[in-house]
Amino acid sequence: MEEEKKMHRELTGVVTSDKMNKTIVVEVTRNLRHEVYGKLYKRSRKFHVHDEKEQYGVGDVVTFVECRPLSKTKKWRVVYQDQGK
């Protein structure tokens, strides 16, 4: 029997804070279109992300995935840093 791989959400955002130990705050911004008027608007949300090696700083663009709860607010871990932006 083949085991199914669990699907984990993967998001990309900009690091806004790196002042905590092994934790960074990443802001993810989405562009949405209003259903009636069609105007574009932005929605942003901040996530606490686990950074084991403390290698990411403010302004870095990182990709992170969902994982088991590591603390009260931390349920994400960094996968890699994006080079594109």
pLDDT at position 84 = 60
- Residue by residue, DSSP assigns 14-49 as EEEEEEETTEEEEEEEEEEE-TTT--EEEEEEEEEE
pLDDT at position 85 = 52
All structural domains of the chain with their residue ranges: 10-81
**Assigned architecture for domain 10-81:** Beta Barrel (2.40)
The residue behind tokens 């594109």 is: 84
pLDDT at position 1 = 53
pLDDT at position 59 = 95
pLDDT lower than 50: segments of the chain: none
Residues 6+ apart with CB under 8 A from 84: 61
pLDDT at position 67 = 95
pLDDT at position 82 = 78
